[in-house]
Chain A
Amino acid sequence: MDLFMVVSLILIIAMLIAALVAAESRDLISAAIAMGVVSLIASILFYMLQAPDVAITEASIGAGLSLAIMIFAIKHTVRWEK
């Protein structure tokens, strides 16, 4: 149990909780925001796995552009899942 493992386990548990929220939420906007949280934590994990190039890309695309595009799409359609 070193520091790397403790921080990784905390981040992984937070990421899986956010993924469960994205799976089960009936509000599509909160599902999209939970998906953005999953991407953001994944980018921190990429940085901890010594992949800074991938971490920059995932932080700007997964948590920024992807979330914005998804929210535009939800604004064009319906917000609540039946």
Chain B
Amino acid sequence: MIPYYYIASIALIALGFYIVIAKKNLIKIIIGLDMMDTGVNLLLISIGYVKGGTAPIENGNYPIYVDPIPQALVLTAIVIGVSVMALALSIAIGLYKNTGTVEIDEIRRLRE
């Protein structure tokens, strides 16, 4: 069977990488980083999935559970991701207030 969840999350990672390399707008680059973040989280959770399992909350009469460790890692990674994204956006805003643009080509030209 084709593991379609892996393919979807790896496609998100690759698309985010494409945005980071190809685009020249700082806010677009930060959107790409956020997309890579979502892809990695989805990949970790789908590795921990067990077919026929239920959520890892003890209920006494159902013996199969999914893997709890990736869920615990991703739970904190999401919150860290949004705060780091806010820090990157505030630095981009600061750059805009100083130089008047967020296109990295023009910022590089201003230096010369």
Contact = CB atoms under 8 A, between A and B. Distances in A.
Given A23-B19, A52-B55, A53-B75, A28 B25 contact: yes
Interface string A65-82: 110011001101110011
Given A32-B31, A39-B38, A58-B78, A70 B89 contact: yes
Given A8-B4, A22-B35, A16 B11 contact: yes
A66 to B, nearest CB: 5
| Range of interface residues on B (Cβ < 8 Å) | 35 or more
Given A23-B15, A54-B45, A77-B27, A69 B78 contact: no
Given A23-B19, A35-B31, A16 B8 contact: yes
A62 B18 CA distance: 21
Interface of A: 5, 8-9, 12, 15-16, 19-20, 22-23, 28, 31-32, 35, 38-39, 42, 45-46, 49-54, 57-58, 61-62, 65-66, 69-70, 73-74, 76-78, 81-82
A73 B89 contact: yes
B interface SS class: helix
A78 B85 CA distance: 18
B71 A54 contact: yes
Given A57-B75, A57-B78, A69-B85, A28 B28 contact: yes
B55 A66 contact: no
Interface in B23-80: 23-25, 27-28, 30-32, 34-35, 38, 41-42, 45-46, 48-49, 53-56, 66, 71, 74-75, 78-79
Contacts of A35: 31, 34-35
